[in-house]
Chains A and B, each alone.
Chain A
Amino acid sequence: MAERSFAKEVEHLRLGDGETFKGEAILAITKGLLQAGVSYVGGYQGSPISHLMDVLSDAQDILGELGVNFQSSASEATAAAMLSASVMYPLRGAVAWKSTVGTNVASDALANLASGGVTGGAMVIIGEDYGEGSSIMQERTHAFAMKSQMWLLDPRPDHGRIVDLIQKGFELSEASNTPVMLEVRVRTCHMHGSFVCKDNVRPAFTLDDALNTPRRDLQRIVLPPAAYEHEQEKIHHRLPAAINFIREQGLNEFFGPEPGTNESKVGIILQGGMYNNVIRALQYLGLSDAYGDTKVPLYVLNVTYPLIDSEIEAFTRGKDAVLMVEEGQPEYLEQALNTILRRRDVATRIHGKDVLPMGGDYSVEALLNGFETFFEKADPRALGNRPPRPDARPVLALPPVERLKSVVPARPPGLCTGCPERPIFAAMKLVQEDLGDHHVSADIGCHLFSILPPFNIGTTTMGFGLGGASAAAFSRSSGKRSIAVMGDGGFWHNGLTSGIGNAVYNKHDGVFLIVDNFYSSATGGQDILSSRAPNKTRKTNNPIEKALRGVGATWIREVDHTYDVGKMKRVLTEALTTKDEGPKIIIASSECMLNKQRRVRPIEAKAVRDGKRVVKQRFGVDEDVCTGDHACIRLSGCPSLSVKHLDDPLRDDPVAAIDNSCVGCGNCGEVSEAAVLCPSFYRADIIHNPNWWDRFKARMALSLINFLQARRERGRFMLETI
């Protein structure tokens, strides 16, 4: 069960010819795949393409009608290898992942696929997670496209254009026997827009057809001498075929004054994805209107690899200078452009990273600054009398705004309210107080937030599922042991073999902590092998523990309620101090609170409405007992645990306070008990629709309590009355 239900969006996938789709681009892409007649779709979830996986996962009925096989792949490598179905058969297939991380994982399969080539259209939807808001290292997928020779589509951010390029991309793939990548950036994936649909297409040649009449061709398998032939094919057959197709179909676009009507001395070549921001930047300079009617000739590369030399020559020849707008580094396109013009002896000057930033987002502001410099150099008259451009710099230089910088605190991401991983790291922090600091290798997933305040635990992260593997060098300890953290998502992605299998085989002495929250939570709560909920279309409920035993692990401890901080602490301490050999593996399991609340809340609310007895829990702080030290917060960081000022002149510091978003997970109480903090936390059990026994008990207890309280309060004067 994913974090979001896509029941409504699924209906969009049924839209027919002439109807208008409105929604996120990533869902438009999903619709585009069905319109292109894919036979199979796979992929691995992750921002920004998670919604593609989620919506297809919820769309099993439609996929069934169309005969499309959809899989949530075990990893990006699995997804890439899935494309091999298109090698021998005229089957169209698409896979999707977050890049470059997913492409890194998939590269082995991709390189093999690209070497042998394809018969049916094979497409990788690349969610390019680059720039502000990205959660990964800043790299470009462009390099992969070039090194394996896969065509790279970078469509203009417009739903219609993107969907059209999916169709054309498959045709290109088939015309040139080469897999293609369709790159969409983060903001484009989550961009709301619309396009006019076509009917979905049921593939003419089906997966069954392939299975029932299998074919093979030794020439398509990557093994010498075929592998040498593949390289020659790439150069002499596939590349020219692709160039022809791209040129004939007009995949790249030209905007601006008609050639000959206006002798433009300059022009701009841009990646398709940059188009919208380029138009806005030109508009600020008075060189375009809001509808894209530009005075500057634009050559929009909806295909950024391969480049079409003849188109480039035609665009640049006769111009004084051309600006290459290429986000990210190194500047592959700018280099290629220079080579092309040099070979064709075109003297047009090429600008690019000399006026635009080498790295980072090409925001409108960055483009605007670069364009100004470019036009100053190449065609100052184009700027006319320079209408005022938006500029926040004078405002940012005002002293009160300057002062804000030191006031506005950083707001890093953190674990959600009630997250079951919080008590694990609280326990780790407490254990480290007893046993000293340890080397901790972290992994990718929600648990990586442990590296941030308040926990500050974890030294490295080497990739998804590689938390265990990245402790490999520390396999023999004489004193302190290394601790490797890994999530259940990473565990099934590859951690079982790369981390645990490796540790068992090499007799690693360290501690391996597997955080099992029943879902692939960081990517949106998708099901995985060890998920506990029944799933109609997948086989879940495969315990991690059985897999561990299967690869030969023996020292395994399971904590099936992570909120038990005391137990968590004892188990960690045992793992760090036991004399037993081999990897010490702890599985800490509790359900992701975000998913649990989504599951349980409606059920509870209904029960309360129906008059059934329901007990809800939440925590609170006795403000007069709390002394304002905030040690509890340094072991929690829960969004619902905050601080507040009391109206008491005797108090210097704000006291802890818990707000109504508390879900009663228990961490606060457990931590204050395990760390011997203070007795100011209480848990309130709120009984909705109490039965007669509850009411009777409460009445009896209260009459005693009231009697005792009245007795004591008669004899003394309370604070408030003075």
Chain B
Amino acid sequence: MMRDETVKLRLDPAGEATERPISIAIVAMGGQGGGVLTGWIVKLAEAAGWVAQSTSVPGVAQRTGATIYYVEMMQPSGGRLPILAQMPTPGDVDVVLASEFIEAGRSILRGIVTPDRTTLIASSHRSLAIAEKSAPGEGIADDSAVTEAIGITARRSIIFDMNALATAHGSVISSAMFGALAAADVLPFPVDAYHAVIKGEGKGGSASIKAFDAAFARTEGKTDEADADPAPAEQATPLRRPIPPRIAGLLDCLQTVMPPQVQPMARAGLAKVIDFQDVAYGSLYLTKLEEILRLDVELAGESKDFALTFNAAKYLANAMAYDDVIRVADLKTRSTRLQRIGKEIGLGPGQLFETTEYMHPRMEELVGLAPARLGRWLRRQDRLYAWLDRRISKGRRVRTYSPGWFLVLYTMAGLRRFRRASLRHAEEAAHRDAWLTLATKLAPHNYALGVEVVKCQRLIKGYSDTHARGLSKFDRAMSEIRRLAHRDDAADWARRLRETAVRDGEGGDFDGLIQTIRSVA
């Protein structure tokens, strides 16, 4: 007879399905007040006669790194005290409070947000990590991935900008998160108990209560307030003046000539170019863009959404509105700037402010301002040039709104009317023409490659060394593109060249890529 082991196994649970404590994890960045929130939750539970235990790992994460606080709470039973765990167990956390949106994503990766248990309370604001900030160009993480993951991992989620809400009420994020926790109704304590905890803190209590109440109401869906400050943001509306006929003419022309897909970008481009120089310059922009559009039409660009013209509208404007001393002085002396800074620094009534600019002009910039022939001559006078550079090239602290310095900047900005005679302008114009010529030469053979060449203007930006480096990367990219233009996959290589050049030295290896290209092409 066959032995049947299963019959002998006890099938009843080894123990009763025992009651577990409520577990709360707080994921935060060091120095963000996670400790304060943890303390409040512990007090809340203790005041109700529960046993609460919190743990944290202060170490180095305290200094702006990602860290985690953990609270467990449970009622004593017949004089017996619960034994509480010291760290969260994946799959067994009731509430996760995340004080920043990507940290909510990190908590999901830790496995502490699961569909059967977890209420996720997270602030939707972002505090960027160093890798996101320091990437040349775009490096910000795509937080839609976090939103998507929250959707499938959290039993329930409460997400809004708790930082903005707290700030708007003169408090810090922990108050808003405490409010959201109260409204989430996952802990068996009344709102008054939460209030009592905050009031027990004394200092800063009333602002905290306000932020708490606002977050509570927001979580319960009673208000939409929170994402912005309570008062509607004041729009700095410039005086509405009738558009002068010459500009109106250009706009009309743009509307009749440009295909609809291109129009918004072309309008923005036109505005930027006119703002940079004058209406005539805007007219030049439009003329150049029309030339490209004509080619685009010839090449049946419509089937490609006029990609060539669209990108030219964007990058031609950027190329024409280059960053020079005149532009910086112009931007720094505008009336809108005073208002904007006042708002940025939260200037209160009765307060005044002054600003100091950190400028480091060099001989290059000065020569750039000079009339083209004089500038070229100066460049050839090595000793004179070096002597002048020693006098000019140094850091200068410019007190923008002192009468003297303002006049200096104002005068510099006024040089705008001589700009087109300057050496810098001559060089920028030559660069622009060479670039567009190459793009329009390549486009008929390889439309995509032409578009890629147009996009390479992106490499040029910044001032001083940054600008010089960008220009050199652009030149090298162009010469490589010329070299491989005959290949079918040239556009793809051109795109890789550009993208690598943007990140060169910070995760991109431009030289390496060029060598690779040369070895295969």
Contact = CB atoms under 8 A, between A and B. Distances in A.
B89 A650 contact: no
Contacts of A411: 29, 64-66, 102-103, 106, 129-130
Contact of A48 (B58, B133, B335, B466): B58
Interface string A681-722: 111111111100011001011101110111011001111111
Contact of B148 (A400, A620, A686, A698): A400
A287 to B, nearest CB: 6
Interface string A154-190: 0001000000000000000000000000000011101
Interface string A351-390: 0000000000101110010000000000001111101011
Nearest to A411: B66
List 9 A-B pairs, minimum CB-CB distance, nearest first: A392-B111, A133-B57, A390-B91, A413-B65, A392-B90, A384-B14, A673-B395, A390-B92, A669-B358
B270 to A, nearest CB: 7
Contacts of B114: 390, 392, 395
B93 to A, nearest CB: 9
B23 to A, nearest CB: 10
B217 interface: no
Nearest to A291: B80
B359 interface: yes
18 contacts: A22-B46, A187-B86, A187-B87, A192-B42, A276-B83, A277-B87, A384-B11, A396-B111, A408-B106, A409-B131, A413-B60, A446-B63, A622-B337, A630-B134, A650-B265, A653-B138, A687-B352, A700-B403
B356 A682 contact: yes
Contact of A709 (B57, B132, B334): B334
Interface in B379-420: 395, 400-403, 406-407, 410, 413-414
B247 interface: yes
The size bracket of the interface on A is 35 or more
Interface stretch (A100-108, A490-498, A548-556, A634-642): A634-642
A235 interface: no
Contacts of B61: 133, 413
A677 interface: yes
Interface of A: 22, 47-48, 129, 132-135, 157, 186-188, 190-193, 275-277, 279-280, 283-293, 295, 361, 363-365, 368, 381-385, 387, 389-393, 395-396, 398, 400-401, 403-405, 407-416, 446, 449, 452-454, 522, 566, 618, 620, 622, 624-625, 627-631, 633-634, 637, 639, 641-643, 645, 648-650, 652-654, 660, 668-670, 672-679, 681-690, 694-695, 698, 700-702, 704-706, 708-710, 712-713, 716-722
Given A381-B10, A642-B127, 18 more contacts: A191-B53, A191-B86, A192-B39, A382-B14, A383-B14, A392-B90, A395-B111, A396-B111, A400-B148, A404-B108, A404-B149, A627-B463, A633-B133, A653-B138, A679-B358, A681-B358, A717-B274, A721-B238
Contact of B131 (A135, A365, A453, A653): A453
B325 to A, nearest CB: 9
A83 B330 CA distance: 70
A409 B268 contact: no
A717 B247 contact: yes
A634 B134 contact: yes
Given A186-B57, A188-B86, A649 B268 contact: yes
Contacts of A721: 238, 240-241, 243
Interface stretch (B293-301, B338-346, B433-441): B338-346
Contacts of A404: 105, 108-109, 145-146, 149
Interface string B239-283: 011011001000100000000000011011111101100110000
Interface string B4-16: 0000011111111
A690 B351 contact: yes
A269 B242 CA distance: 87
B87 A361 contact: yes
B240 A287 contact: no
A280 B18 CA distance: 11
B406 A290 contact: no
Given A364-B89, A717-B274, A395 B153 contact: yes
B357 interface: yes
B357 A679 contact: yes
Contacts of A643: 128, 132-133, 140
B318 interface: yes
B314 interface: yes
B221 to A, nearest CB: 26
A415 B60 CA distance: 10
